[in-house]
């Protein structure tokens, strides 16, 4: 029997080893599926042995302080995310339908037994007198029948009948019969009869690609949420530092006003700047909490977790990251690797198989059937079977024909299948163009973000010098508090922009690798689509 569902494992993340996880095996205990339902999962899905140095995932159920790395966040999402638990059941369901289609050609045992009793009044033909009739009958039938992909139906049966009546002596009969029915037009070719099974197999394979695409999107979303959370933490650090500077400057100006070195009018500008920094800090704390909730949801941690935190975002370095690979080669890679495109190609093959089925449905039904039987008669059960060696037999040969007048139903189904096939073919061409566009746009965004890293660093360095120069001019009385505040505000914006540029490049790389369908491989995650069939 063809396997229901293949083995897919998660082995490690970039730069580390990890627990081996079965991405296609749902956590049955956690999602509440009964033990009996797990028979749908193929034995090959037993997880592989764990690596020698697995990644230790923090226990977030206690609510204690937990600093989570990017690798740990991705691991937790792949092993605990509830949306993924739901999506993992799709290949199981698809594999079940595959078994259902294969069951059409399973042999079937059948049996039937009946007893009857008759009490009536009959009239004798010779005398015209009425007389009572008392009769008992019984019948037993058993056999096996099977349909084959060649359009042949075979049935072998054994029957035994017993008849006891006051009109005649007891008689028992046994019969062994063989019936063969062969399609001559509709349903004759194995390619037609096996099309439904092949379509179910393709549906199972397509569900793997669909699940792989879901896993890629989950990894991308988790990494993006991680960096957004880390960025929010870094923004708060910058805003807090900026607020401390603004408060310090406010105190210095207040002291100079008290000694008469500055006019009281200078107080408003610096107090306004302190208020603006406090406003920005309030917004930054709210953004941090929102990004934390989104990340907790992805890793299936308690949303009320207080001690959850990520590894600190490093300050941008002076070196620029390497450029992306050649765009043309990445487009070719995307046309080979993207799971949605591979799924669409399987859907096209399903549509092509459907046209084979509907074209066959246009043919009339013409069947040749033959029946051969041997019957034994006796007044005992055993004797009726022993008499099967006698010369009695029965044989029938015939032909059966049927054809719907007008054939509108068959013609409509065939036209629909042809339209669906053509639509699927055009959709693949459209999807290939969209994938190329995705790669080019992601490539453009990654290059923009990379260039912004250098430009934002230069801007921040110049704004630091500008703020320092303005502060020095203010100290000697050649500037105002308003200009100092404006310079500090520009410096704050430049510091935020520099950190945002660094995170934007990381996010752009995630989207670029997602667009080319290689995000899992680049992260060391193995999620092969099992396509090996006997």
pLDDT at position 144, please? 97
9-13 and 16-22: which strand pairing?
A: antiparallel
pLDDT at position 62, please? 63
The residue segments making up the domain with residue 140 are 107-147+152-186+365-402
- Tell me whether residue 357 is in a domain: no
Residues 83 and 112 in one domain: no
Residues 216 and 78 in one domain: yes
Mark which of 374, 402, 430 sits at the end of a domain: 402
Burial class, 171, CB count within 10 angstroms (exposed 0-12 / middle 13-18 / buried 19+): middle
- Tell me whether residue 4 is in a domain: no
User: From CA 69, how far away is CA 299, in angstroms rounded?
Assistant: 12
- Tell me whether residue 412 is in a domain: no
- Residue 345: CB atoms within 10 A of its CB come to 17
pLDDT at position 55, please? 63
Residues 224 and 335 in one domain: yes
CATH number, domain of 27, equals 1.20.1600.10
- Tell me whether residue 533 is in a domain: no
- Tell me whether residue 172 is in a domain: yes
pLDDT means over runs of 10, the chain (534 residues): 31 32 40 36 31 59 74 86 88 89 93 89 71 84 95 95 81 92 93 92 91 92 92 89 86 81 82 88 92 89 75 63 83 92 93 93 93 88 84 92 89 93 94 95 92 91 90 82 85 90 92 92 75 50
User: From CA 247, how far away is CA 472, in angstroms rounded?
Assistant: 18
Task: Give the contacts of 310 (CB within 8 A, at least 6 positions apart).
Answer: 67, 68, 69, 70, 73, 226, 229, 230, 233, 295
Residues 95 and 111 in one domain: no
Are the CB atoms for 193 and 102 separated by under 8 Å? no
Residues 96 and 202 in one domain: yes
Residues 177 and 86 in one domain: no
Distance of CA 216 to the CA centre of its chain: 10
User: From CA 161, how far away is CA 122, in angstroms rounded?
Assistant: 23
- Tell me whether residue 388 is in a domain: yes
Which among 160, 104, 151, 191 has a CA at the least distance from the CA of 369? 151
Task: Give the contacts of 324 (CB within 8 A, at least 6 positions apart).
Answer: 330, 443, 446, 447, 512
Q: Residues 367, 368, 373, CA angle at the centre, nearest 5°?
A: 130
- Per the structure, the count of domains in the chain is 2
- Residue 460: CB atoms within 10 A of its CB come to 20
Residues 301 and 440 in one domain: yes
Distance of CA 97 to the CA centre of its chain: 16
Residues 220 and 284 in one domain: yes
Are the CB atoms for 208 and 530 separated by under 8 Å? yes
pLDDT at position 254, please? 82
Residues 272 and 379 in one domain: no
Distances from the Cα of 198 to the Cα of 189, 205, 256, angstroms: 14, 10, 86
Residue 332, φ and ψ in degrees, nearest 5: -60, -40
pLDDT at position 472, please? 85
pLDDT at position 51, please? 36
User: What does the block give as tokens for 115?
Assistant: 């007893």
- Tell me whether residue 355 is in a domain: no
- Tell me whether residue 319 is in a domain: no
Sign, CA torsion 326/330/331/336:
positive
- Rounded to two decimals, what is the model's pTM? 0.78
pLDDT at position 61, please? 66
Residues 158 and 241 in one domain: no
Residues 81 and 112 in one domain: no
pLDDT at position 152, please? 95
pLDDT at position 326, please? 85
CATH number, domain of 136, equals 2.40.160
Strands (E), 266-353: 308-310
């Amino acid at each position: 029997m063809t396997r229901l569902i293949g083995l897919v494992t998660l082995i490690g993340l970039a730069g580390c080893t990890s627990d081996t996880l079965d991405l296609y095996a749902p956590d049955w205990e956690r999602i509440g599926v009964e033990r009996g339902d797990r028979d749908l999962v193929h034995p090959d899905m037993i997880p592989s042995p764990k690596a020698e140095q697995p990644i230790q995932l923090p226990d977030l159920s206690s609510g204690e302080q937990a600093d989570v790395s990017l690798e740990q966040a991705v691991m937790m999402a792949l092993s605990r995310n509830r949306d993924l638990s739901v999506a993992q059941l799709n290949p199981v369901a698809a594999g079940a339908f595959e078994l259902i289609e294969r069951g059409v050609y399973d042999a079937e045992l059948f049996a039937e037994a009946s007893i009857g009793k008759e009490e009536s009044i009959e009239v004798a033909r010779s005398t015209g007198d009425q007389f009572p009739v008392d009769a008992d009958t019984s019948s037993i039938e058993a056999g096996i029948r099977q349909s084959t992909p060649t359009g042949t139906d075979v049935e072998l049966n054994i029957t035994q009948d017993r008849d006891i009546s006051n009109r005649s002596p007891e008689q028992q009969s046994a019969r062994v019969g063989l019936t063969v029915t062969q399609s001559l037009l509709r349903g004759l070719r194995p390619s037609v009869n096996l099309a439904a099974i092949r379509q179910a197999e393709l549906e199972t394979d397509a569900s793997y690609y669909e699940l792989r695409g879901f896993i890629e999107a989950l990894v991308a979303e988790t990494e993006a949420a991680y960096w957004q959370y880390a960025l929010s933490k870094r923004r708060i650090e910058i805003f807090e530092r900026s607020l401390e500077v603004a408060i310090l400057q406010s105190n210095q100006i207040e002291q100079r006003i008290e000694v008469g070195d500055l006019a009281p009018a200078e107080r408003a500008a610096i107090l306004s700047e302190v208020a603006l920094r406090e406003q920005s800090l309030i917004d930054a704390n709210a953004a941090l909490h929102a990004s934390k909730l989104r990340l907790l949801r992805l890793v299936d941690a308690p949303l009320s977790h207080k001690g959850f935190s990520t590894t600190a975002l490093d300050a941008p370095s002076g070196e620029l990251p390497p450029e992306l690979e050649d765009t043309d080669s990445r487009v070719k890679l995307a046309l080979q690797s993207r799971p949605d495109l591979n799924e669409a190609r399987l859907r096209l093959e399903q549509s092509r198989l459907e046209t084979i089925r509907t074209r066959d449905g246009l043919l009339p039904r013409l069947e040749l059937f033959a029946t051969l039987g041997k019957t034994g008669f006796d007044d005992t059960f055993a004797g009726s079977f022993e008499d099967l060696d006698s010369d009695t037999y029965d044989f029938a040969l015939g032909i059966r024909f049927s054809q719907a007048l007008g054939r509108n139903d068959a013609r409509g189904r065939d036209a629909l299948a042809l339209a669906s096939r053509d639509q699927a073919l055009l959709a693949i061409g459209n999807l290939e163009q969209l994938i190329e566009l995705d790669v080019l746009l992601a490539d453009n965004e990654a290059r923009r973000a990379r260039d912004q890293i250098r430009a934002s660093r230069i801007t921040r360095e110049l704004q630091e010098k500008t703020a320092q120069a303005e502060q020095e001019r203010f100290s000697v009385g050649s500037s105002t508090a308003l200009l100092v505040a404006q310079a500090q505000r520009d410096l704050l914006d430049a510091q935020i922009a520099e950190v945002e540029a660094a995170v934007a490049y990381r996010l752009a790389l995630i989207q670029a690798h997602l667009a080319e369908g290689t995000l899992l491989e680049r992260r060391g995650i193995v999620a092969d689509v099992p396509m090996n069939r006997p």
